[in-house]
Every structure is written in structure tokens, then in C-alpha cells.
Structure 1
């Protein structure tokens, strides 16, 4: 029982992380001039919304109650995200913006790996967490490909 409560606590941390990041991505998309970056941020926000649904279900499967953070204005987000978002909103350099988005993805990959390593989960839950982490890794890869493409285009001009 204690293990189930601990697992639920960690899942709730991931739920909060994804909830805050989803809102941050969507708010930033609305505030940024570059339409391509805004679309990418909306896509990332959508992905996080899907993560939230799966984590909510996983928490309920554990017999727990999902704990959603309170939404305040301005959005209060921890782990350095506010600073990164400020940098994104104040820049028009897409390579820099995507580098900053990559930092967010890296931090979240590390958090997922920490949670994955913490317990032996049932097969379904472990699969869900690993798929979400893999999605973050694939997005990070896409960010790097896009950054390289933007860099090459700058040099070619």
C-alpha cells in the first residue's frame, strides 16, 4: 500500500509538470510572432495534454486521486521554465528559440527517467511512462534537426 501511495505521488508530480508545461507552451504560442514556432508549441502543448490524460488514468488505476495544480495568472511554473519562456518570448531568432524549447524537453526527459528508475511498475504503467519519455526524446530530436536546418539556411543566405 505504501508503495502505491509513493507511486501515486510521483505520478502526480509528472501530472503537474505536464499540466504546467502544456499551459506554458500554449500561452507562449499565443504570445510569439513566429507562426512556425507557435504551431510547434501548440503541437507540444497538445502532446502534453495527451500525457496528462494517460497520467490521470494511471493515477486512478493506482487507487489515487489526480492532483492538478491551481492555475494562477501569470502562470506559476517551477524548475526554471519561467526564465526560459521569457527568453523565448523576447527573441525572434528561431535557432535560439528552439534551443530553449530543447532545454525544457531535456529537463523533462531527466524527470521522467528519474521516475522510471524509482520503482518497479506494472507493465502497463511502465510502458506508458517509457512511451511518454520516448515522445519527449523524439521531439528533442526533431528540434535539433530543425535547428540545424535553420542554421544552414542562415549560412546559405
Structure 2
């Protein structure tokens, strides 16, 4: 079983997948920082507040033992108050759109490169025929032209 596991891990696809997961995790942190630290504060400022992820609607009563801020999404959520956190949803949706756009641009660039290679291959002239093949075709054609053949 250990040999099978080593063979499985040593296959190229598994290593490629591992690298992709690690790079994806790092890329996710970059996108989260871009969204949380740059984009969403700008959107929040336009919308009238700085912390857009804290926008919510309270759907239930606040417990009497609640000691946090009644305007804090994190405090209310920790206390178990039912909330509709639309600001957090918008933040996550923006993060998704950024990741989807970057992946689209990456796939688009790869497809263009692959298509360019295919066009260059198609446009390349066919290689010249070997001299012996040309000579054999000439002999064949001459034999066909002779009467009685």
C-alpha cells in the first residue's frame, strides 16, 4: 500500500494539482486583501460607511444578556441574533468576481497562445517530398502514359 501511495504521489498530475492548490490559496489571500482593504472601503465610502461588510438587517430580538454593541455585526452574530448580513455577502460576491475575472483572463491568454500556435502550424508550408518518392511518382506516371499499359 505504501508503494502504491508513493507511485500515486509521484505522478505528475498530483504534483501539478498540489502546486495549483498552494498557489490558489495564496492568490485567495491576495484577493481577500484587495477586496477587504481596497475595493470594499471605497464602495463603503460611496454607500455612506467605511465597513461595508458590517451592513446587516436584524431579524430577531437581541438577548437581554447581550453586552456588545447593537450596531456590531460580529457582536450580534456571536450572540446568536438572527441577521441578514448583506454587506458580507456583497464582499464575498466581489471577491468571487475578481477571482473569476482573473481566471477568465488567464484562460483567455492560454487559449490565444494555443490558437496562435495552431495557426502558425497550419500556415507553415508542407515539408518537401523526398527525392526518391518524387522519382517513383514520375516513373509511375510515365508507365501509365505508355500505350498498352
TM-score by length of 1: 0.29
Structure (1/2) with the larger helix percentage:
1
Which of the two has higher C-alpha Rg? 2
Q: Which has the higher contact order (CA 8 A, sep 6+)?
A: 1
